[in-house]
Structure 1
């Protein structure tokens, strides 16, 4: 490979991004891999009383309590099917670009594939879905349509306040009460 070919290949690679592909029912969705912290097997979570039905609960991850949402329940009202391919995917969640990233868990069905493509291949689908602002543009390929899920738009303000209180809960204050 000569130097010019190597440079062209590097530029072409830079235009592409890696996506984690998963399913909700029979439909395909994708998260940009740069937002993914870790992909875990489906783990037990502790439910949160009076939380929305799609908030699966919380679990302990490396000394921190991480909230978990079921993306299938959020999107279509039906809990994700428990399969060997159902994963607990940890993502960097930022309500605003200037905010510090927090870890959020997502229960995703069939989260076992990746796709490398140009993000510009995703196109608006013509609907302004205010009830699901996290559902972004779509990309067509041989398997049909693939929809981009935007992590930053997953939680509305009331749920964000429930899952990520500001200031964060001080666990030492709870321990002093006992």
Structure 2
């Protein structure tokens, strides 16, 4: 697996590259009052506001430093439940498509049997009818469902200048529970020491998600009450 490495006070951490949409140079962040201290504010990306999490502030209680190696890393923050439901739906669709392919193979076999034995017409019609019903079921259940579009989040990271391939099997639990920082994942060791996997899906708790991604958007709710 490919990871983007970054540092927190000299210790190495890693983000799964599959969660990353863009890596941007450090840019001004507009403060957003009324949010936790580690929410640095928002940036504009391609015409849309994106919330910014200051990871050093979240992890260490100090703001990210404006170093040459500091980056704004845009990640896709997808709800774990939504992704799981989409995966289950896609698995069901795959099974339905396999059933459809099996029905097509049965149709070909029936055609060959018909050529070999004209007396099998009635039996062939019965099988074809069953195959059509199965195909109809497959068609109705075979549409693949995509997960809901992920929400975009920017992370302020220090030392985020290189990537590294690390096999997932090399990561293991660190042996210390961190209920207040569920985004801290398992650790791996290489020739440079330890590196800890940061789980993007766990960065924001439900309360902060509701602040950053209100549904409906807060400005629409305000208009509705006027």
TM-score, normalising length from structure 2? Answer: 0.67
- Seen in structure 2, the aligned counterparts of structure 1 residues 49 and 170 have a Cα distance that, compared at 3 Å, is closer
Larger proportion of helix: 2
Structure 2 distance, partners of 1:83, 1:109, is 7
Give 1:31 deviation, angstroms. 0.2
**Structure-1 residue corresponding to 2:49:** 65
Q: Secondary structure at the match of 2:57?
A: helix
TM-score, normalised relative to structure 1: 0.84
SS in 1 for 2:208: helix
Query: Would you say 1:119 and 2:103 are equivalent positions?
Result: no
Q: Which structure shows the higher strand fraction?
A: 1
- Tell me by how many angstroms 1:138 deviates: 0.3
Q: Give the 3-state SS of the residue equivalent to 2:180 in structure 1.
A: coil
Distance 1:170 1:49, change over 3 A: closer
8 Å Cα contact 1:58/1:68 also seen in 2 = yes
| Structure 2: unaligned runs, 5 residues or longer | 83-147
For 1:153, the equivalent position in structure 2 comes to 202
Structure 2: distance between partners of 1:137 and 1:102? 24
Measure the CA separation in 2 of the matches of 1:97 and 1:36: 19
Q: Equivalent residue for 1:167?
A: 216
- The Cα RMSD (Å) is 1.7
Give how far 1:95 is off. 2.8
Distance 1:118 1:87 in 2: 25
Bigger CA radius of gyration: 2
Listed as ranges, the matches of 1:1-178 within 5 Å are 17-98=1-82, 99-169=148-218
Following superposition, the deviation at residue 80 of structure 1 comes to: 1.3
Shift of 1:97: 4.3
Conserved? CA contact 1:92–1:104, under 8 Å: yes
* Secondary structure of the corresponding residue to residue 91 of structure 1: strand
Q: Which runs of 5+ in 1 are unaligned?
A: 1-16
C-alpha distance in 1, partners of 2:47/2:13?
30
- With CA pairs under 8 Å and 6+ residues apart, which has the higher RCO, 1 or 2? 2
Q: Would the aligned equivalents of 1:24 and 1:72 in 2 still touch at CA under 8 Å?
A: yes
